[in-house]
């Protein structure tokens, strides 16, 4: 157990729908990162939050949004889902706001859009 | 911008063989950090090692060893006496000093299959 908790583990939904993925960081970690892993795109950085504030943004679609709450858990909202959004979504956390110590990853949420 | 290349897309070996996974990186910074992660078939990403750019000592952890060579911008990973449980996708990653998430760069990964 890495200490980073992601729920749900699996999600199947229809095109056009909206889903929310949840992440609880490791105890003491202030940063949360979201990644998308699809078969043909590798690990794509989506967004980073540090202590409730957005810190960095990657190639996150406008249909996707995220936030980090005062208790430091984070949610990734995906709306108007398309078949191409099917992927493994990872959350990771780190103690500080910088990446030089690397991340601890959660076990991921596998999203299937049908 | 920094870049990580893992030229080997897939490798297959027979159990007990040694195998080396290559990682070549590009960065303009003199201070940076290199990482290896393992993704077994179950899907989770497991941290293996972190190395900073000032420490070129090779590291050994059981059957795993890492060879960091700044002269060739490489950070290769060797598994000695491979086992079936080593079958996974392995990612090399690079972070420049004091960077944010968008600059933590993963390589495309190498899929290792260890056959019994």
Collect all residues with Cβ–Cβ distance below 8 Å to A61 and sequence separation of at least 6: none
Cα–Cα distance for residue pair A66/B32, rounded to 1 Å: 28
CA-based nearest distance B108→chain A, Å: 6
**Which candidate from A56, A100, A104 shows the least CB-CB separation from B102?**
A56
Residues B21-45 have a mean pLDDT of: 94
- Residue B106's pLDDT is 93
Interchain contact, A99 vs B37, CB within 8 Å = no
Give the distance from residue A66's alpha carbon to the nearest chain B alpha carbon, in angstroms. 14
- Note the pLDDT tens digit of each residue in A10-26: 999 999 999 999 999 99
Condensed to tens digits (0 to 9), the pLDDT of residues A26-37 reads 999 999 999 999
Residues B53-103: tens digit of each pLDDT: 998 888 888 999 999 999 999 999 999 999 999 999 999 999 987 777 777
Q: Do A100 and B33 touch (CB under 8 A)?
A: yes
Q: What average pLDDT does this structure show over A53-66?
A: 94
Distances (CA, A) of B29 to A106, B65, B113: 29, 25, 34
The confidence score (pLDDT) of residue B55 equals 87
């Amino acid at each position: 157990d890495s200490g980073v908790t992601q729920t749900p583990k699996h999600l199947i939904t229809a095109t056009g729908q909206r889903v929310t993925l949840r992440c609880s960081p490791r105890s003491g970690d202030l940063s949360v990162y979201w990644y998308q892993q699809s078969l043909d795109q590798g690990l794509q950085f989506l967004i980073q939050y540090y202590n409730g504030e957005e810190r960095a943004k990657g190639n996150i679609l406008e249909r996707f949004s995220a936030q980090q709450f005062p208790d430091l858990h984070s949610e990734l909202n995906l709306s108007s889902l398309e078949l191409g959004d099917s992927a493994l979504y990872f959350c990771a956390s780190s103690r500080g706001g910088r990446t030089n110590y690397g991340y601890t990853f959660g076990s991921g949420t596998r999203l299937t859009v049908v | 911008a920094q870049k990580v290349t893992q030229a080997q897309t897939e490798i297959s070996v027979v159990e007990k063989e040694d195998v080396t996974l290559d990682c070549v990186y590009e960065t303009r910074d003199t201070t940076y950090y290199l990482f290896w992660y393992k993704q077994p078939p179950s899907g989770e990403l497991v941290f293996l090692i972190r190395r900073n750019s000032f420490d070129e000592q090779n590291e050994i952890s059981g059957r795993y060893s890492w060879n960091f060579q700044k002269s060739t911008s490489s950070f290769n990973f060797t598994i000695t006496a491979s086992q079936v449980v080593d079958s996974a996708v392995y990612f090399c990653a690079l972070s420049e000093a004091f960077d944010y998430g968008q600059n933590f760069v993963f390589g495309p990964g190498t899929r290792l299959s260890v056959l019994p």
